[in-house]
Amino acid sequence: MRIAQQLYQQMVDHGYTSLPNEACGMASGKDGQIEQVWPLVNERPSPHRFFVSKSIVSSTLEAIEQSGQQVLAIYHTHPGTAPVPSSYDLQSHPDTKVKMLIISYKFTPPRSACYSVLSGRYVKHPFHIGDR
């Protein structure tokens, strides 16, 4: 999966504005190229979890579909831990076709990692940040 620096920075900035709590959102595009970031509001602010209501998720998915794109990843932040999925992250991940992207603020600058999730297990997935 690939993302332009500017779009990646949008996700990082979203995370900074949510600290000390987790931030979350979706990333959409085509053929493994992220073309748009969809920041969401963590409706139950916590440094260890995020929650977005079904109605917000549905309306965002509809907007993504109308844009002619598909959801490539769900992103969220880890304010104080490494960019590795927690057991809660694995249990909550809704779709094996959608990647999990985690941005960690434990490090300066923040570090990120992308994963494929299947049956409660994760595998690191290639993730390139940059315009080329």
Are 40 and 53 a contacting pair, CB within 8 Å? no
- What's residue 95's pLDDT? 87
Q: State whether residue 99 is helix, strand or coil.
A: strand
Give CA–CA dist 76/105, Å, rounded: 11
- What's residue 47's pLDDT? 94
* Amino acid at residue number 105: Y
Q: State whether residue 44 is helix, strand or coil.
A: coil
- What's residue 128's pLDDT? 95
- Residue among 1, 2, 38, 13 nearest 105 (CA): 13
What single DSSP character describes residue 95?
-
Q: Tokens 């299947």 belong to which residue? A: 118
- What's residue 55's pLDDT? 96
Ranges of the chain whose pLDDT falls below 70: 132
First and final C-alpha spacing in the chain: 12
